Amino acid sequence: MQLQDILYTQGFGTRRVCAGLIQQGLVKVYRAAEAEVVTDVTTEVETNGLRFQVQGVAWEYHALAYIVFNKPAGTECSQKPSVHPSIYTLLPSPLRLRPQKSAIQGVQAVGRLDQDTTGLLLLSDDGQFIHRMSSPKKHIAKVYEVTCKHPLDEQQVQKLLTGVVLDDDPKPVKAAAAVRVADHHLQLTLTEGKYHQVKRMLAAVGNRVEGLHRSKIGNFALPADLLPGQWRWLSTLELEQVQLKA
């Protein structure tokens, strides 16, 4: 693939902008361990394992983006936030500007977390992956660490497992798993994603959510070394892990 096209697919601007970056000597391509300046926009480059620099910023080539992000509190999973800052402001511009066939640019959140919910969030520009991961029919397990206002009792845990009725759905909604970790700490596993589901389920059993953190999707846990507000690429193995069903 020509270097100009590579930069364009990775979100570094229009083809004209990418050509200008190359011609100005602002792009380096790693060949073995060394990064070499390339000024010819038509230079053919092998994309497999490609690493390059744009204006001193190192980047890896990915035909499709699959991102793990540790969402901090007080942020919204929206391109147009209403009150709090958007999570997208915490991502580098190439991820936000990756071209897509649709009118939407860049990576998109795979489902949303409330503004006060923290933890594991996936982002991608693969529409089929987003749809598959978001569909309740796929039964992808999502694990939440819930801090409760009132001490948990066994009756509340059992109600969550057998099913509770939410105000907008006559069909009972039940947890795939519910473990009382401590008096005020519940580990709750869900395979669907209704609006404010965890908060409403806890309210239905007479308790209240004081803190909410998503720790796991499928068989993939939030990396311990990924701090709030940080992101990284998913590996091939991790991509398989997030898609494992409950």
Active site residues: 114
Q: Which residues contact 79 (CB under 8 A, 6 or more apart)?
A: 86, 88
DSSP-based helix, strand, coil % in the chain, nearest 5: 25, 30, 45
Q: Residue 4: what are its φ and ψ, rounded to 5°?
A: -60, -45
Distance (Å, whole) CA 244 – CA 141:
8
